[in-house]
Structure 1
Amino acid sequence: MLREKEEFKAAFIERLQALHGKSLEEASAQNKYAALGSLVRDYIGKRWVNTNKQYVAKGEKQVYYFSIEFLLGRLLDTYLRGMGVRDVWVEALAELGVDYAELEDQEHDAGLGNGGLGRLAACFLDSLAALELPGHGCGIRYKYGLFEQKIIDGDQVEHPDNWLKNGNIWEYRKIDKAVRVEFGGSFGAVLAVPYDIPILGFGNNTVNTLRLWSAEPTEGEMDFASFNQGNYLKAVEYKYSVEAISEILYPDDTHYEGRLLRLKQQYFLVSAGIQSILRTLRRKHGDIRLLPEKVAIHINDTHPALAVPELMRILMDEEGLGWDEAWQLTTGTISYTNHTIMPEALEKWPIDIFQSLLPRLWEIVHEINERFCHDLWHFYPGDWDRIAAMAITADGFVKMAHLAVAGSHSVNGVAKIHTEILKKDCMKLFYQYTPYKFNNKTNGITHRRWLMKANPGLASLITDTIGPSWMRHPTDLNRLQYFVADAPFQERLAAIKRDRKAALARFVKAKYELDLDPESIFDTQVKRIHVYKRQLLNALRIMELYNRLKENPRLDIVPRTFIFSGKAAPSYLLAKKVIKLVNALAAVINNDPAINGRMKVIFLENYGVTLAEMIIPASDVSEQISTASKEASGTGNMKFMMNGAVTVGTLDGANIEIRDAVGDDNIFIFGLKAEEVIEICANDQCNPRYLYQTDPRVRQVTEQLIDGSLPGGPDEFRPLYDYLVHGKGDFFELQDFAAYLDAQARVDARFRDRRAWAAMAAVNIARSGQFSSDHTVGEYAVGIWNIRPVPIGE
């Protein structure tokens, strides 16, 4: 295990020489990173093999978590912490003159996800291993991530995210476990090659697997005879069309080719994954009818919903089962997490695309729909409207959420309010038909990354104060409640926050040449850019504050630093305009000497896990301001809370449960409630134009979008003006504007009392343990998957 420093030093130098033929002095940082990673692989590999052997020997049920995204972040530090050698190895490296932080920087964030969906999946894998639960991930090995975001002249510009350019030291290519995935018509077959990444349990011997599938040409499919005769374009085009399946996360679906590629990806993922699972089941247990007893398949959102017909296809066409038995096994094995309550965001596929690419699956889906509607007729005879609304195929589309609900034994929401809206509104008809399927599992985050790794100073303070048990049992953070009013604890907590703010300020200075004041309020909104998340509302209140300061330069405010980060989908033009607006505000405000530095605005480009680990611990205020009833849960709110930031938020998603945990005095709630938003939308009563006409503050900030006040001229932000003033007001920015300003005034007043603010921060940290993904995964294990811990011996 190399637990002694001298033993590690010798092994590290020997490995460096063996891999690269270089001395320590000659080796590059990349060489040293590879040598260190190789030592980690030695440790993990043995335990990985041992874990799989013991899973086979004990024959326990295992869960396979299918997700189109797994936003892992860097793994080196996670592995070292899990092995229990981080401090010893880091100290030993320092004694060799090697900067561990420089080695960490050699690892590129894996380009396997975009936002909360992928980060949730990564947290769940971490918790499964930490809890010694037999659970694995199944995803796609994208050659390129979503994109690398650059901000040029205030605009988002997308560049390829070539995260694999230096390879990935943590993956293991398993060509012997490859499977064929067959598409219909002229699309042919592809080879799905697994690349396995070990998921190490914290402080135990468990090593689970994240299996990522890469698309490659099948043997014999590439016409080498034609290639050798000069017809190489045909061969190259075939190779590219195959490899494109695992080329990039979320290809643009605004055109036919992009939609087709997305559907190819989704089928590729589920077909490869299910074939692999069933092959393992046959080898271990022989009888395919043991499937629900030995396997749980969980689909994270609707992207893997094709698991339902694909499992049916294999059970019937390859295993020879009849429909009824295959359906019983399928629904007994598959469970589904819903992640949206916006009907327009529910995934559906045109039947013509579906049928041409997946003709056999179309036959099965059509039959599922026929039988499902037949069953509905027995419950609701003559109620054609209800049956049509619940149909899986209707109006020329395959409705993936309907397929997932019909084909699973469990449907869960990801926050209490989200689940209630599913039951009462979005999925009401399905809930009335099968209420026993629906349940809630509020999202969670792994405290091992978002506290222990991201904020080691805070982690040390917590351990010094309440002992180390919280690392394994995060609900023990509740014990901090006894120290909320303790002055020495508050002082240390405030000092840690200042240290993290200073570190972020140094990063911003080095990269953006902008000075940030660590004594100001660091007010942060970092997440995917989308109108329902309302970065635009945040920008409008910044404009309003700037207006007040210009009118009264002596206005008494606590200085604020407004921090934004996040990516907009390349084709989402309105969201990209919001990014442009934030950067325009930064250009004006940061260069206005009359403001005297009391306001600063910064948009940090290329948001990802590693950047989040820097931003979140440095933040005082967490902006969670989505339109009530629109955000399923959120997990960023939990990460900020765990690091002592205080939430400004609507009663939406998990904000409600955070409010319930910390109390009204330790959160800043504002705005319309979910039921009010739903009622206004149902009655078509939203009237943003009225607010524009009656509230002078609203009129002023919206007019400034088009009066030439901002860089780019009067037409640059006209799309935002038209959206706010002449649009339907779907996301209630103007309705919530006044309440949002009032909440910010309360923040200003409370922050002036630094002891009171420190107490608020402490309460948030103390109550964050219930939002650990360990707690969430434990509920899934018992309530949905029916799996139990399998301790792995040495």
Structure 2
Amino acid sequence: MVETLRQDGISGPHDFAPAVALKDEIRRHIWLSMGRDPAKPNRHACFMGLAYSVRDRLIDRWIRTQRSQYDTLSKRVYFLSLEFLPGRFLMNYLISLQMVEEARQAVEEMGFDLDELEEEEWDAGLGNGGLGRLASCYMDSLACLDYPAYGYGIRYDYGIFHQTIENGWQREQCDNWARKGTPWEIRRGEYLTPVRFYGRTEIYTDAAGRECFRWVDGEVVMAMACDILVPGFGDQFVTNMRLWRAKSSREFNLDEFNQGDYIGAVEAKVQSETISSVLYPSDEMEQGRELRLKQQYFFVAATLADIVRRYQKLNRDFSEFSDFVAIQLNDTHPAIAIPELMRLLMDEEGLSWKKAWSVCEKTFAYTNHTVLPEALETWPVDLLRRLLPRHTDIIFEINRRFLEGLKSPRSKDDGLAGRVSLIAEGVGQRVRMAHLAIVGSHTVNGVAALHSRILKKDLFRDFNTIFPGRLTNVTNGITPRRWLAQANPALSRLINDAIGSEWITNLEQLRKLEPLAEDADFRRRWIKTKRDNKKRLARYILRKIGLGVDPDTLFSVQVKRIHEYKRQLLNVLHVITLYHRIRANPDAPVVPRTVIFAGKAAPAYHQAKRIIKLINAVAAKTNSDPDIQGKLRVLFLPNYCVSQAEKIIPAADLSEQISTAGMEASGTGNMKMSLNGALTIGTLDGANVEIMEEVGKENIFIFGLTADEVVALRGSGYRPRDYYDSDAELRQVLDSIIRGDFSPDEPLLFAPIVETLLQQGDYYMLLADYRAYVNTQEAVGKLFLDRNEWAKKSILNTARMGKFSSDRSVKEYADRIWNLKPLPEIG
């Protein structure tokens, strides 16, 4: 780095050669960057000093990467996502730079432990769950594969929320993740991008006599770029996420201030900057819905302005735009980018509609992440027109031309136009953002083979006919750097000793572990490593919620967003079944279990929050019953996040992936736990299908209805009460909930949960799958007693997870969708 600085005429304070001790750099940053006495640093100061030292290295590599991208005139991909969930950065950076041991030794010489320093960092509150975590995995793989790429999103001041549990209920608190500041972001305060809202569309005639449009008046908010660096593994490549923060276009109204209206003087500034304040503001009120739409357009407008600015440096005609630019829409949140690019190309660059639309179609691709109709975004036309008048006009024109193109004398489907229209008619018109994304993109992909089949056959069947070949599949993946090398260092060391470390960048190398599943000594070390991870989690559980758990019990883990289709409730019904069995026959042999739940419910999702309360109520009764001690332990860990997942996942014996078949798009928690040697119990849903194909039917526990059987059963008239009447254990479980056995002070507290099953149709078919699930859990317990056989299957699960690397996923996007090539090696 110093050589680079010197070539640029800049003198660096330290050479980064190995001869220079890292601890000297840490002390220098404590002194000069933080203004603290380096002779007496506390733990936070040492963390910050180390972080700044790591960032120095990243910045140098990032600058050289940027130069290389411009020198080669390479095509770039821009990954647009309203969420990124990167987790903590420090250890990830150290692993990528291959300086973990150097850092560990340096801080130990200063009197600190690296693992304790890591705890000083809060998870970056930039995402909610799977969508944001997937985006972060893809950014990691883009960097590791040297693809010229940027991630774009919002730099939220507050994350989704910090979850606490009070009397068994979820309570939401502000997630002020950056309250101590963050050493990782680079704020670009000198570059502010204006973003307009409201106003009106003005028509005028240009010098050539053409009718033109421009968007005028309204209010302007400034977008400030904040860059967070994303390094490749073991090389010089570093890219970045560019996250936008809202800034007022003026600090405050001086006239109002001078007249004594202190609140009014800063009101505009405060309102403008709320756009980037919090992830997913509540949409129960009109104001919240408007803020959500503002967020989506804010980051899209700033991003496209940045992309166009960068493209203009090439001095190329906009007809070549898609040769140098690929834009991936991560779900429908960024779909407003399609009319925004049309506006820029037509209103700012003077392209005709036909040329602008051709550019858009060749530039955009869209990833769908859900088959749930209620999760497909729509926006009221009235709100959209008020907030984005020009874009509303463009969307209607896109729709008019699209529907006009469908008309054919031979067409006999009178309902087709209504089904595929971008505008849903009803009480009030609404814009279907998924339809906009499909029509405006050259490729639309699902995220697992089953999910993509459902998109083609059911959800987007008409579009699959209209645009043959447009819908495709790219199965999700996870980064092995974060989810094995970082999250599970003990298992990583064992694997490295056995087969080397090439798996870190080529996960298929784990296949070399397969023969070792028959090696008794390797199985013994594998079992010990898993038990050590379970002991580590047990210490964490004791510290967090004061509950002791036995690491020799079967750790059954279900950690994910709380939603009825993910069926945490089915897991609870099984727990209550075990409770009743033990109570009825305390002396009968059982397989001791620790059942671990974690996950957040959306603040307005009252049924999901009631399920959390039920989990905690069942845990309280079970854990306090002396007849149950040593046989069954149940717990709910609050505030599930990436750093907590890194402790839970390596310790899991059994991975609960039990969603209603046909409803989970993919899942990635299933991949993470299998990669870390957990055995899966699951339905044939999402990526579970492909995991089964890879690990083998004999190494996974599959139960329940298939997606086709779910559809057929619904169509034939599903009667959940028949299952209640015919299954004595199921009836006992539901009756105990209805009686108030788990809520004696409020006997009817959980009645709404049972009502959804017995009176409201059991939409997610828990009762239909209950008996198969309970019986399969019995098979799980029997296998767990044979530790050698369990270890063999655990090893094979890890060994056969190569397909599920995000490196493979990103290569598929690059080859089949983006037409993107890696950069040449950076010197």
TM-score by length of 1: 0.98
Is 1:732 aligned to 2:732, yes or no? no
Q: Which one-letter code corresponds to 1:515 in the other structure?
A: G
Is 1:388 aligned to 2:402, yes or no? no
Equivalent position to 2:695, from 633, 643, 662: 662
CA distance in 2 between counterparts of 1:342 and 1:456 reads: 37
Q: Which one-letter code corresponds to 1:309 in the other structure?
A: P
Aligned to 1:747: 780
Aligned to 1:249: 279
Q: CA deviation at 1:187?
A: 5.4
Q: Give the alignment of 1:458-469 within 5 angstroms.
A: 458-469=491-502
* DSSP 3-state at the match of 1:412: strand
C-alpha distance after superposition, 1:712-762 (max 9, x if no partner): 421111110111111122100111000000110010011111000000100
CA distance in 2 between counterparts of 1:202 and 1:613 reads: 19
* DSSP 3-state at the match of 2:627: helix
Q: CA deviation at 1:106?
A: 1.2
Equivalent position to 1:179, from 193, 200, 204: 193
Is 1:690 aligned to 2:719, yes or no? no
C-alpha distance after superposition, 1:288-327 (max 9, x if no partner): 2221000000000000010111110100000000000000
Deviating more after overlay: 717-726 vs 8-17 = 8-17
* DSSP 3-state at the match of 2:394: helix
CA distance in 2 between counterparts of 1:338 and 1:792 reads: 33
Is 1:209 aligned to 2:240, yes or no? yes
CA distance in 1 between counterparts of 2:410 and 2:112 reads: 71
CA distance in 1 between counterparts of 2:424 and 2:35 reads: 64
Is 1:164 aligned to 2:196, yes or no? no
Aligned to 2:77: 63
Q: Residues 185 and 227 of structure 2 are in contact (CA less than 8 Å); yes or no, is this contact kept in structure 1? A: yes
Equivalent position to 2:128, from 114, 125, 150: 114
Q: Which one-letter code corresponds to 1:523 in the other structure?
A: S
CA distance in 2 between counterparts of 1:341 and 1:81 reads: 36
Is 1:336 aligned to 2:366, yes or no? yes
Aligned to 2:474: 441
Aligned to 1:151: 165
CA distance in 1 between counterparts of 2:647 and 2:707 reads: 32
Q: Which one-letter code corresponds to 1:374 in the other structure?
A: E
Q: Residues 554 and 592 of structure 2 are in contact (CA less than 8 Å); yes or no, is this contact kept in structure 1? A: yes
C-alpha distance after superposition, 1:346-375 (max 9, x if no partner): 111111111111110000000000001011
Equivalent position to 1:200, from 231, 234, 243: 231
CA distance in 2 between counterparts of 1:5 and 1:36 reads: 17
Aligned to 2:346: 316
Q: Which one-letter code corresponds to 2:44 in the other structure?
A: Q
Q: Residues 337 and 414 of structure 1 are in contact (CA less than 8 Å); yes or no, is this contact kept in structure 2? A: yes
CA distance in 2 between counterparts of 1:7 and 1:626 reads: 51
Aligned to 1:707: 739
Q: CA deviation at 1:102?
A: 2.0
* DSSP 3-state at the match of 1:652: coil
CA distance in 2 between counterparts of 1:778 and 1:411 reads: 16
Q: Which one-letter code corresponds to 2:234 in the other structure?
A: G
* DSSP 3-state at the match of 1:176: strand
* DSSP 3-state at the match of 2:739: coil
Q: Give the alignment of 1:430-579 within 5 angstroms.
A: 430-579=463-612
Is 1:11 aligned to 2:42, yes or no? no
Q: Residues 523 and 560 of structure 1 are in contact (CA less than 8 Å); yes or no, is this contact kept in structure 2? A: yes
CA distance in 2 between counterparts of 1:162 and 1:9 reads: 30
Equivalent position to 1:240, from 262, 265, 270: 270
CA distance in 2 between counterparts of 1:687 and 1:356 reads: 46
Q: CA deviation at 1:224?
A: 2.1
CA distance in 2 between counterparts of 1:114 and 1:344 reads: 18
Q: Residues 120 and 445 of structure 1 are in contact (CA less than 8 Å); yes or no, is this contact kept in structure 2? A: yes
Q: CA deviation at 1:509?
A: 1.4
CA distance in 1 between counterparts of 2:230 and 2:410 reads: 47
Equivalent position to 2:804, from 771, 778, 782: 771
Q: Which one-letter code corresponds to 2:226 in the other structure?
A: Y
Deviating more after overlay: 708-717 vs 126-135 = 708-717
Aligned to 2:8: none
Q: Residues 149 and 156 of structure 1 are in contact (CA less than 8 Å); yes or no, is this contact kept in structure 2? A: yes
* DSSP 3-state at the match of 1:252: coil
Deviating more after overlay: 76-85 vs 780-789 = 76-85
Aligned to 1:261: 291
Equivalent position to 1:304, from 324, 334, 347: 334
Q: Which one-letter code corresponds to 1:546 in the other structure?
A: Y
Q: Residues 510 and 798 of structure 2 are in contact (CA less than 8 Å); yes or no, is this contact kept in structure 1? A: yes
CA distance in 1 between counterparts of 2:123 and 2:564 reads: 26
Q: Residues 554 and 654 of structure 2 are in contact (CA less than 8 Å); yes or no, is this contact kept in structure 1? A: yes
CA distance in 1 between counterparts of 2:34 and 2:662 reads: 56
Aligned to 2:214: none
Deviating more after overlay: 286-295 vs 627-636 = 286-295
CA distance in 2 between counterparts of 1:673 and 1:434 reads: 28
Q: Which one-letter code corresponds to 2:561 in the other structure?
A: R
Q: Which one-letter code corresponds to 1:278 in the other structure?
A: V
Identical positions, percent = 46
C-alpha distance after superposition, 1:154-200 (max 9, x if no partner): 00000000011011110011123321111113851100111011111
Residues 241, 20 of structure 1: CA spacing in aligned structure 2 closer, same or farther, 3 A cutoff?
closer
Aligned to 1:357: 387
CA distance in 2 between counterparts of 1:31 and 1:96 reads: 11
Q: Give the alignment of 1:778-793 within 5 angstroms.
A: 778-793=811-826
Q: Which runs of 5+ in 1 are unaligned?
A: none
CA distance in 2 between counterparts of 1:371 and 1:380 reads: 19
* DSSP 3-state at the match of 1:736: helix
* DSSP 3-state at the match of 1:174: strand
Q: Residues 641 and 764 of structure 1 are in contact (CA less than 8 Å); yes or no, is this contact kept in structure 2? A: yes
Deviating more after overlay: 711-720 vs 136-145 = 711-720
Equivalent position to 1:600, from 633, 637, 640: 633
Aligned to 2:322: 292
* DSSP 3-state at the match of 1:770: helix
Q: Which one-letter code corresponds to 1:201 in the other structure?
A: G
TM-score by length of 2: 0.94
CA distance in 1 between counterparts of 2:334 and 2:343 reads: 15
Q: Which one-letter code corresponds to 1:696 in the other structure?
A: A
C-alpha distance after superposition, 1:611-643 (max 9, x if no partner): 000000001000000000000000000000000
Q: Which one-letter code corresponds to 1:339 in the other structure?
A: H
Q: CA deviation at 1:58?
A: 0.3
Equivalent position to 2:356, from 317, 326, 332: 326
CA distance in 1 between counterparts of 2:742 and 2:515 reads: 50
Q: Which runs of 4+ in 1 moved over 6 A?
A: none
Aligned to 1:35: 49
CA distance in 2 between counterparts of 1:187 and 1:256 reads: 19
Q: Residues 549 and 555 of structure 1 are in contact (CA less than 8 Å); yes or no, is this contact kept in structure 2? A: yes
Residues 536, 257 of structure 1: CA spacing in aligned structure 2 closer, same or farther, 3 A cutoff?
same
CA distance in 2 between counterparts of 1:37 and 1:607 reads: 25
* DSSP 3-state at the match of 1:267: helix
CA distance in 2 between counterparts of 1:379 and 1:443 reads: 42
Q: Which runs of 5+ in 2 are unaligned?
A: 1-14, 200-216
C-alpha distance after superposition, 1:239-263 (max 9, x if no partner): 2221111111111111111111111
CA distance in 2 between counterparts of 1:618 and 1:544 reads: 24
Q: CA deviation at 1:379?
A: 8.2
Q: Residues 28 and 38 of structure 2 are in contact (CA less than 8 Å); yes or no, is this contact kept in structure 1? A: no
CA distance in 1 between counterparts of 2:654 and 2:524 reads: 18
Deviating more after overlay: 548-557 vs 4-13 = 4-13
Q: Which one-letter code corresponds to 1:131 in the other structure?
A: L
C-alpha distance after superposition, 1:514-552 (max 9, x if no partner): 110100000000000000000000001100110000000
Deviating more after overlay: 688-697 vs 453-462 = 688-697
